């Protein structure tokens, strides 16, 4: 059954590492005992009835033991990928198979931007730490672990157990401090959800700064060396139509500022937001405030005559214009909006018929 999937870009730090994730000869014979222990824990997890969290913790703890045994047994960090590729449950990165519908991607085969198990190096304050990310499927708990070498021995110095699949994104805060934005993601039958947490990583360990409130609907992530941008949706409570119809989309940008992670949130499709605000205000009898969202009196009256039931939308923030199409018994009606010189979006036109951009 097709499923929606969040689309995320891998941070440059990890993307460079993944170039080395190529098939190599099996190298797990030296650590057969640790691999067998992980396999036993993995099988026990799969057999548990409603015990996913406990089963996941057991399996991922065995994975930590395996990774540390390899590091302390002489395997170089760069060589861990060869070992992990021999472990049961390993799957490599995949583009997946599916199609796009509006702002949601549907997949018959889910993509994976990273393998199920991988370890990436990070450089902090002249020291190298390793970040391991382990997850089998988006619906099962995943883990992020941080390893450091102290007095000639590698140890786990921190981590995060997610309720679902975990993906980390890095933001340099200072020479010896790295900001980490984690997304715990869940894939449902007709939507995805994401939960965001912010962390500080230092050579001493990993510390949670805050968990963002609530969840994000159908999040899409794009990461660079200096920003983590997440777009997510909300169903319009007043003008909403079908579940996969027009959404109110938001764009949250996380960046480093003053040694900490800051968040800036903006409307990603303001032409939808302004129409939703208009009908919400009009429905509550706040006519003066609703009227302020229309360019003139004629547009205001035309809007009041339309029963809101959205079916399509489109636009460009850069061009400062957008539209929303309403379904009515008499045929579609298009509501057009523009950004004014004062930066505010207003509804400028109500016309019968589909928007010209529709095929």
The CATH number linked to 284 is 3.10.450
Residue linked to tokens 């395996």:
66
**What pLDDT score does 170 carry?**
94
Is residue 251 in a domain? no
Residue 156 and residue 27 share a domain: yes
Is residue 151 in a domain? yes
Is residue 265 in a domain? no
Question: What's the predicted TM-score (pTM) here?
Answer: 0.81
**116, 140 Cβ separation under 8 angstroms:** no
How crowded is the C-beta side of 170, counted as CA atoms within 13 Å? 22
Is residue 237 in a domain? no
Residue 130 and residue 278 share a domain: no
**What pLDDT score does 31 carry?**
93
Is residue 121 in a domain? yes
Split into its structural domains, the chain has a count of: 2
The Cα angle at residue 77 between residues 55 and 63, in degrees rounded to 5:
10
Q: Name the domain boundary from 215, 232, 255.
A: 215
Residue linked to tokens 């440059």:
12
Residue 81 and residue 175 share a domain: yes
Q: Report the alpha-carbon distance of residue 246 to residue 241 in Å, rounded.
A: 7
**What pLDDT score does 245 carry?**
82
pLDDT tens-digit profile, the chain (359 residues): 233 333 333 333 333 333 333 333 345 578 999 999 999 999 999 888 666 788 999 999 999 999 999 999 999 998 998 999 999 999 987 554 444 555 444 434 444 578 899 999 998 988 999 999 999 876 789 999 999 999 999 999 999 999 999 999 999 999 899 999 999 998 876 788 999 999 999 999 999 999 999 999 999 999 999 999 999 999 999 998 776 789 999 999 999 999 999 999 999 999 999 999 999 999 999 999 999 999 999 999 999 999 999 999 999 999 999 999 999 988 999 999 999 999 999 999 999 988 887 54
Is residue 245 in a domain? no
Is residue 227 in a domain? no
**221, 6 Cβ separation under 8 angstroms:** yes
Residue 292 and residue 203 share a domain: no
* Nearest to 28, CA basis, from 92, 115, 88, 77: 88
Residue 288 and residue 171 share a domain: no
**What pLDDT score does 112 carry?**
57
Residue 353 CB coordination number (10 Å): 11
Cβ burial, residue 76 (10 Å; 0-12/13-18/19+): exposed
Is residue 73 in a domain? yes
Residue 184 and residue 106 share a domain: yes
By residue range, what is the domain housing residue 8?
3-215
């Amino acid at each position: 059954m097709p499923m929606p999937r969040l689309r995320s870009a891998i941070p440059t730090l990890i993307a460079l590492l993944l170039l080395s994730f190529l098939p190599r000869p099996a190298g797990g014979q030296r650590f057969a005992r640790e691999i067998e222990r992980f396999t036993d824990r993995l099988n026990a997890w799969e057999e548990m009835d409603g015990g996913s969290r406990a089963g996941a913790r057991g399996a991922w703890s065995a994975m930590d033991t395996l990774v540390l045994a390899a590091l302390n047994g002489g395997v170089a960090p760069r060589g861990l990928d060869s070992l992990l590729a021999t472990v049961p449950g390993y799957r490599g990165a995949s583009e997946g198979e599916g199609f796009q519908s509006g702002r949601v991607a549907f997949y018959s085969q889910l993509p994976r931007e990273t393998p199920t198990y991988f370890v990436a190096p990070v450089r902090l304050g002249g020291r190298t730490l390793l970040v391991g990310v382990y997850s089998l499927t988006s619906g099962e708990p995943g883990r992020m672990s941080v390893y450091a070498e102290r007095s000639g021995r590698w140890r786990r110095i921190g981590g995060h157990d997610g309720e679902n699949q975990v993906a980390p994104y890095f933001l340099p805060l200072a020479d010896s401090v790295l900001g980490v934005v984690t997304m715990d993601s869940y894939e449902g039958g007709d939507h995805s959800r994401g939960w965001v947490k912010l962390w500080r990583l230092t050579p001493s360990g990993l510390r949670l700064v805050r968990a963002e409130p609530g969840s994000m609907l159908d999040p899409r992530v794009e990461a660079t060396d200096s920003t983590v941008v997440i777009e997510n949706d909300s169903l319009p409570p007043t003008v909403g139509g079908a579940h996969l119809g027009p959404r109110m989309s938001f764009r949250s940008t996380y960046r480093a500022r003053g040694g900490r992670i800051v968040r800036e949130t903006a409307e990603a499709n303001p032409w939808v937001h302004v129409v939703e605000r208009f009908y919400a205000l009009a429905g509550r009898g706040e006519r003066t405030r609703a009227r302020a969202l229309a360019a003139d009196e004629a547009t205001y009256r035309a809007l009041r005559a339309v029963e809101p039931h959205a079916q399509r939308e489109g636009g460009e923030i850069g061009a400062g214009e957008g539209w929303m199409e309403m379904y009515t018994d008499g045929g579609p009606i298009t509501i057009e909006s523009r950004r004014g010189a004062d930066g505010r979006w207003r509804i400028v036109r109500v016309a019968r018929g589909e928007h010209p951009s529709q095929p």
